[in-house]
Amino acid sequence: MNKNALDTAWIETQLRDAHWHTSSFSSGGTNCVQVAFLDGGIVALRDSKNPQKPPHLFTDAEYNAFVGGIEHGELRRP
């Protein structure tokens, strides 16, 4: 699925029905990143402090590369 060609109504429905996951390392779930796995291989990422803002959308491959970069320390600030 091409995330850039997603229908706005589809996205709204997916996000309304989404089950958001919070890291077990979170302190109360209010200061962290949350992720929801949507249909069609789309992953939504949002800030738990601002859940009303639109989330960032990734394809499964983009999300896996992002998580892999974190796991391997590639996304640390120099």
The pLDDT tens digits of the residues spanning 64-75 come to 999 999 899 998
- What is the C-alpha to C-alpha distance for residues 26 and 49, in angstroms, rounded to an integer? 12
The pLDDT tens digits of the residues spanning 7-54 come to 999 999 999 999 999 877 766 656 788 999 999 999 999 998 888 999
The residue extents of the domains of the chain are 3-71
Q: What letter would DSSP give residue 30? A: S
Pairing of strands 56-59, 33-38: unpaired
- What is the C-alpha to C-alpha distance for residues 20 and 45, in angstroms, rounded to an integer? 9
- At residue 30, the pLDDT reads 65
- Give Cα 45 to chain centroid, integer Å: 2
Q: What letter would DSSP give residue 18? A: -
